[in-house]
Each structure stands twice: as C-alpha cells, then as structure tokens.
C-alpha cells in the first residue's frame, strides 16, 4: 500500500482481470462496491451485502471470496478475477499466478493433461474460443440460471470450488476428510451441493447448477448416479445450503 494515505483513504493499485487500476479508495470500501461503483464492473451482484447469499462472489488469489465482506485495501497486489474476466482464466491470461494456477490444479494427480489453470476439467486449450469459460458454457448447456442475478456469483464460486477439489480439499460431506477428494472428477452431486451451498438462487435453478458444475468438473456421473437425481431439485432439496463451504 502506498505511503500516500490519509486517515480515511488510501491510494492503491488493484489488479482486476489482468488490468491494473490506480485508485484512491475509502479505507472502509468493500471490494464489491469498488468493482461496481469505481471500476463499473457490475457483474458481481449485491444481494444481501452481509455474506449470506454469494451473489458478490469473485476470485482473489484464485480463491472464492464474498466481495461484500472484503475491504478493498486488503486486496492490493492480489489477482482479482470477476465474472467479466473468468473466460480468460481458462487460457491462463487472467489471474495467473493465483493459487489455482500454481501447477497444483487440475486432477489430483495432474495426469489428465487437459485441465484448465483453475481446475476445470472441461478445458482443452480451446476453452476460450467462444469467449466463455468452461463453467459458463456448462451453465448454459444445463440451464443453470433463470433470471441470472445470482449467476455471476454462482460461476465464480463454482470455479473456486473446482480449484479446491482439484487440490483435494475435503468438504463437510467428504467421506474421509484426511484423504480429501480425488480431484474434480471425483465430485458427487452431494459434494457439489455442499460446496456450492454458500450461493443462493432465488429462482431455484439448483438442479441445473449442480449438473453444470458436475459437467465442468468432468465428474464421473455414471459411477455416482445422475447429476440431478430425481426428487433432489428445488430450493428445499437440492443445493439449498445447510452451511457454507470453506471460503
Ligand atoms: S452480497 Fe455478498 S454474500 Fe450477499
Ligand atoms: S437465476 Fe435468478 S436468482 Fe438464481
């Protein structure tokens, strides 16, 4: 952080979607407000402004965070990726050098050779050819949205969750928390619902969201049953959260 600061503001440089921005920000500003009001990146949404809904989710240093709970000044020097920049993640041109791009992403054993820098198994080097990240493409393919208000946060959260799974991180429903999960391909619908439980969807598009995340994960749905088992859809029975995944 620059020494040029007063009691209430700071001059900082933010790196967002691969671009640097020199800003004077109120020390109390949240990253969500800075992205939306200062940089006019309005993809991240303000749902609750209290860390409850996940609509404001962006990636900082490769990890998903609630930008409404994050002070902007704490993100100086980090790679910030919002929904506007996720497509470039797939070809490594944005947010590179993040935790998800350190060479530990992809499948747990790193042998599939096609995993994207953020751990999404669907990337094969042509991921951004249509201007979309593989997770964005999967959301479209599976109707993982209705009004779209929650969707930027859902997609950023899914990318972060897949990076966590690629590194083997367990969730509350992982059978062996010490062993973790066997990469993204080992994710089950139950794992996806738990890991996405911090992102609410008022339209109840959970069924498509789970299917989309599983597809982007390259999950073996044949082994674990259908991505969206009958009777699991809807706000009460699908991705509806019991607790938030680690962030
Ligand atoms: S707006 Fe940040 S969690 Fe709801
Ligand atoms: S698609 Fe409308 S809130 Fe999720």
- Beta strand 79-81 with 19-26 is unpaired
What does the pLDDT read at residue 102? 30
In the block, residue with structure tokens 């749902």: 47
pTM for the model stands at 0.79
Q: Do the domain assignments include residue 2?
A: no
For atom 3 of ligand 1, which residue has the closest CA? 51
pLDDT values of the chain reduced to their tens digit, one per residue, 247 residues: 555 555 799 999 999 999 999 999 999 999 999 999 999 999 999 999 999 999 999 999 999 999 999 999 999 999 999 999 999 987 655 544 333 333 233 333 332 222 344 555 544 444 456 889 999 999 999 999 999 999 999 999 999 999 999 999 999 999 999 999 999 998 999 999 999 999 999 999 999 999 999 999 997 554 434 443 333 333 333 343 333 443 3
d(CA 122, CA 47) in angstroms, rounded, equals 30
Instruction: Say which CATH number the domain at 64 has.
Output: 1.10.150.120
| pLDDT score for 171 | 96
* Cβ-contact 217, 184 below 8 angstroms: yes
Ligand 1 centroid from CA 29, angstroms: 14
Number of domains into which the chain is organized: 1
Whether 111 is in a domain gets the answer yes
Say if 236 falls within a structural domain.
no
Domain that holds residue 133: 9-224
| CA pair distance 116, 66, nearest whole angstrom | 23
Cα separation of 87 and 78, whole Å? 18
Q: Which of the listed residues 147, 204, 208 should we mutate to test ligand 2's pocket, taking the one with most ligand atoms within 8 A of CB?
A: 147
Sign of CA dihedral 191, 135, 163, 61: negative
């Amino acid at each position: 952080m620059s020494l040029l600061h007063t009691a209430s503001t700071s001059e900082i440089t933010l790196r967002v979607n691969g671009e640097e921005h020199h800003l004077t920000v109120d020390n109390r500003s949240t990253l969500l407000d800075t992205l939306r009001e200062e940089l006019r990146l309005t993809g991240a949404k303000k749902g609750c402004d209290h860390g409850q809904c996940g609509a404001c989710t962006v990636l900082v240093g490769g990890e998903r965070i609630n930008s409404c709970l994050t002070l902007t000044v704490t993100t100086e020097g980090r790679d910030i990726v919002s929904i506007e920049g996720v497509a470039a993640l797939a070809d490594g041109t944005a947010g590179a050098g993040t935790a998800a791009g350190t060479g530990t992403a992809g499948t747990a054993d790193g042998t599939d050779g096609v995993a994207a820098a953020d751990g999404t198994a669907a990337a094969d080097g042509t991921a951004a050819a249509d201007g979309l990240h593989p997770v964005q493409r999967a959301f479209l393919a599976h109707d993982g949205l209705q009004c779209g208000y929650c969707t930027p946060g859902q997609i950023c959260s899914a990318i972060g969750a897949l990076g966590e799974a690629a590194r083997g991180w367990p969730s509350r429903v992982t059978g062996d928390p010490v062993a973790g999960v066997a990469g993204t391909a080992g994710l089950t619908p139950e794992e996806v619902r738990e890991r996405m439980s911090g992102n609410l969807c008022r339209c109840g598009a959970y069924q498509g969201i789970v299917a989309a995340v599983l597809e982007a994960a390259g999950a073996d749905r044949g082994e674990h049953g259908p991505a969206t088992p009958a009777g699991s859809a809807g706000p009460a029975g699908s991705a509806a959260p019991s607790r938030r995944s680690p962030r």
